[in-house]
A and B are shown apart, each in its own frame.
Chain A
Amino acid sequence: DGGITQSPKYLFRKEGQNVTLSCEQNLNHDAMYWYRQDPGQGLRLIYYSQIVNDFQKGDIAEGYSVSREKKESFPLTVTSAQKNPTAFYLCASRSGGAGGEQYFGPGTRLTVT
């Protein structure tokens, strides 16, 4: 049963703490993405990775960090430097070549108080 998993579904943290969101895929996709979605809004790209050990900043990378040590995994760390971290975070991977369709995980809702 192939797909993308994100865990946990809900995450609560205190302000000032770093938190890492998990994203795993068994689709054998090279490219993976992290997006942030605020209520009633579209998706904004945080980071993306086209291949293992390589990643690029998206439109709103400040306060976030990623790693891509394995093809299957692309964890996102929300650091204490992120001013407004409460949001819905979506991970995706891409099928085929550039511009191809993306497959999304179920998302993690992060609440920081």
Chain B
Amino acid sequence: SQQGEEDPQALSIQEGENATMNCSYKTSINNLQWYRQNSGRGLVHLILIRSNEREKHSGRLRVTLDTSKKSSSLLITASRAADTASYFCATPGKEGAQKLVFGQGTRLTINP
């Protein structure tokens, strides 16, 4: 049961540029989360945005949430080679909030 879908599936940019990834979801949510996964590693939580928030910042990360369009975006400013990773959005499953449903992810490559 897929809830979030990321777009694009893959993104390649030059170091220093900004990277934007989008996530669309299907059902009503009370929060949306973004995670990062370096190759062959576990996921790391980046940011959680609640349904009553429109924008949230954390360092070079900016997340927006538009509940009317059921979509969210993750912006990474001034990208670095270390930002190369896969990024996933996750939302609470429709059966209840005890579990998260993850999208397929965006694979981001930062070229030096």
- Knowing A98-B96, A99-B31, A101-B33, the reply to whether A90 touches B88 (Cβ < 8 A) is no
A8 to chain B, nearest CB (A): 14
Which interface residue of A4, A99, A107 has the most chain B CB atoms within 10 A? A99
Residues of chain B within 8 A of A99, CB atoms compared: 30-31, 92, 97-98, 100
Is the beta-carbon distance between B99 and A48 smaller than 8 angstroms? yes
**Complex contacts, B99 vs chain A, CB 8 Å:** 33, 45, 48, 58
0/1 per residue, B1-24, Cβ < 8 Å to A?
110000000000000000000000
Q: What per-residue 1/0 map shows which CB atoms of A100-111 lie under 8 Å from chain B? A: 111111110100
Residue A78 at the chain B interface, CB threshold 8 Å:
no
Question: Chain A residues near B31 (CB, 8 Å)?
Answer: 99
Nearest CB of B to A55, in Å = 11
Residues in B with CB closer than 8 Å to A1 are: none
The complex places the Cα of A4 from the Cα of B41 at a distance, in Å, of 13
Is B96 touching A107 in the complex (CB atoms < 8 A)? no
B88 touching A42, Cβ below 8 Å: yes
Which B residues have a C-beta under 8 Å from some C-beta of A? 1-2, 30-31, 33, 35, 40-45, 48, 88, 90, 92, 96-105, 107
The interface of chain A, by Cβ under 8 A from chain B, is: 4, 6, 31, 33, 35, 40-43, 45, 48, 50, 56, 58-59, 88, 90, 92, 97-107, 109
